[in-house]
Structure 1
């Protein structure tokens, strides 16, 4: 808008100046023609030679393209009125006095007085205004053309300048939006000029500073995070160790309480039930020999042996497999010696590293007790092989005798063999009974570590 207003003002100023110059040229031309006609008609007017005035009129019309020319004497009488053959367009009229002296242009007036003694007459000319109109139209055309070209150039300049300015501002806005998203790698294109270019360079320097500050902040945050993670890790390890210690303390207290309770039960069973059984056997020995006495004595002895078996399984000293097996060998060896049965005993050293729970030890002792009882009662064997060794799937106990055994008896096993297999399953293992090629019976017990 300011550009259009400026161009309009300048155009009007130039147009008025050109029109003023054209008007001045028309006035000067009219005055010059009138002055020339005055000089040429001075003597004919003085002498009243009409023919000469007519010749002057014809010459002036032909020479200067006049529309008409009139000569009026000092009395106001029209002497000559010559017209052009064809009149063109508008006319400009000029009056000029004819004096006996040389004409003075300062005396040029629209209606000069004719009553002066020196005045010979008046010349009136009609000047065609076509050339002036043509000049005015040409002036209008040129000025408007120049104004239009100036407007186009101005618009082009404004477009180029505004485009450069818009591109620079758009680059700044785009960079600012990406910077708002914490993209510190963005830089504004330095495509501006003047103060805008300085602003773009300052903006890029600000981004450099922000990027450096962000890198420093990230480094500090990473260091603080690493330190915090290390502290948390240390605290976690300490908490884990503390929880482990606490659990170990709880387990130790629980084990201690279980041990104390187990010792109490063992003492009560030993001193109470065991004492009662021993006293009953002692009283029974005083009775006379009879079948009833013998049966009662046998039952009380088995009860006492079972009680000892339970007490031994609860003993902390028998929490290791090797100790449990050694105790079982010690209690069984006396019976085997009385029956003249040879015992070949082999236990792997790894049995000393295998800890067992009291319930597991009781199941294992029950299985071994049932196996050896069957051999002593039914097999009529002269030797027994016993081995305990590590196997790929756990620990394996093998019991083999050279006595009498019929595989068909396994088709309808008694309660003893069924109980042995049930206890083996409760241990998470298995129990197999087979007859080797050399005869006798082989029992294979597999239990997990």
Structure 2
């Protein structure tokens, strides 16, 4: 028969070993759990990033194809036809009687080429100054299709917190909004307003483009507007830089495009 003291000592050793085992488990289990949770979060984030990247790539490619189609249509419907007609006039026996008309056609074609070139790569966009770029945009658009463009920039408006990419995307959104109004709204005037926040608003840059045109039904014409008026591209640009874009319109009441770019730059004293 085993000595009671030896049996107690053996039981104590067994209990001690179990205590050590469970202590190790208690320490390791949370650590393993945390590491597993981190791994899952990183995996989900990677998948989300990949999905968003693919989606953006898709819309980028589609946007490029739509832009190419638009340029092709403009070249064919305006410049090519005018140049072809001018050429036919120049080949006539009485061409000297049509020199003024030929010159006018060629002058108009040259203006169209300049306009296309400006829309593709405005010469001043490299300045990364959204305020100056908006001024240039409004000056370029003023008078097109008989539309007057009125620009208002509140004194002291600060856009220095914008990165070069943010300034570029905001410019493209404004450019698309103005182009839509000029080509489709049948408006007489476009009003552009650039300002910073008021006392009750979130800090950042606010951009508004409105027209007094025919407007559209945003609820019923969303698909058509997205396809033909570039709304999806504007939304994608806004989403890419973390801006908030809203489009308000109704038939006969014009259209208002609003863009808010938050100022997330932290200032330290």
Taking structure 2 as the reference length, the TM-score comes to: 0.50
